[in-house]
Amino acid sequence: MDPSPAPTGIDHEKIGGLAGLDPVALWSALVSDAGLAAFVCDEHGIIRYANRRLTRPLRERSVVGRHFDAVFGPETAPYIRECLHRTGRTPRAVAYEGMFNGVEVLGVFRRVSLEGAKPSLTLGMFRRRLDMTPEDWASHLDSSSIVRGHRDLGLLASLRPREREVLGMIGDGLTASEIGQGLGISQKTVEWYRAQIGHKLGVRSRAELIRVAIGAGLTSVPRWPPKEVPEQDGPTIRDGEEGGPPQKQG
């Protein structure tokens, strides 16, 4: 058995002639330490590798061996398919912009296997969009095109328009009193909305609501990570509790 490492396709001269480059460490830095959600799939759409940052929000233990259609769902999968199709026609990267599971993301797809090698593998990586535009993202890449995808709202789809508006204002760091003044409603009504939003999204703290709002692009002042905010006492809501906002006292 040949003990020499497998070829990586890396031109050492182009990266400064670094001696002793460890491809395993390089791969780990790319897909783990860089904070990106990443997966590798073959020409048939079967996922060969996925890191935890991809599987955790999907609440999946592993997606390896599954087709990307089953992983990303019917709304997002067609756009992933288009990205994979384009990478098969160019050595350059293909940028992606969309919303997945309630979080705005920017992505990049690039063919990573050697020309003519089997299987043909493509690497897909995603990052939170936050305050970077798709054009800014693409300008940092050797990108051939931008694919704009479906806005998969995830649990955000359960929120009413007013609740999304309140969530965005929470993401901007406004207090319940400030939100009430801005919307012309009482502070008690704002606190009721906050409890409803938290119940529907499965989050408990104001800091978590801010993170959700920023990730979904609902804020007017993008900020990551959010600054520490004090918890405010508010009404709790039990499972299954519904109803409308508190009515004004006559």
Where are the chain's structural domains?
23-152, 155-245
Q: How confident is the model at residue 1 (pLDDT cuts 50, 70, 90)?
A: very low
Q: How confident is the model at residue 236 (pLDDT cuts 50, 70, 90)?
A: very low
CB 130 within 8 A of CB 222: yes
Residue scoring higher pLDDT (19 or 82): 82
Q: How confident is the model at residue 11 (pLDDT cuts 50, 70, 90)?
A: low
What HEC string does 174-200 produce?
CCHHHHHHHHCCCHHHHHHHHHHHHHH
Q: What's the mean per-residue pLDDT of the chain?
A: 77
Residue scoring higher pLDDT (150 or 124): 124
Classify domain 23-152 at the CATH topology level: Beta-Lactamase (3.30.450)
The pLDDT of residue 231 is 43
Closest CA to 43 of 77, 7, 87: 87
Global pTM reads 0.60
Residue scoring higher pLDDT (176 or 5): 176
CB 127 within 8 A of CB 36: yes
Distances (CA, A) of 13 to 10, 16, 94, 124: 9, 5, 25, 26
pLDDT in tens, 124-141: 988 887 767 777 777 777
pLDDT in tens, 34-53: 778 899 999 999 999 988 88
The pLDDT of residue 39 is 92
Q: Is 37 helix (H, G, I), strand (E, B) or coil?
A: strand
Give the integer Cα–Cα distance in Å for 209 and 172: 11
Classify domain 155-245 at the CATH topology level: Arc Repressor Mutant, subunit A (1.10.10)
The stretch 188-197 carries a mean pLDDT of 90
The pLDDT of residue 158 is 86
The pLDDT of residue 45 is 92
Q: Where are the beta strands (DSSP E) in 113-204?
A: 122-128, 143-151
pLDDT in tens, 197-225: 888 888 888 888 888 887 777 777 544 44
The stretch 70-78 carries a mean pLDDT of 84
CB 146 within 8 A of CB 164: no
The stretch 6-21 carries a mean pLDDT of 55
pLDDT in tens, 54-65: 887 777 778 899
Q: Which two tokens stand for residue 238?
A: 């039990």
Strand partners, 39: 50, 124
Q: How confident is the model at residue 240 (pLDDT cuts 50, 70, 90)?
A: very low
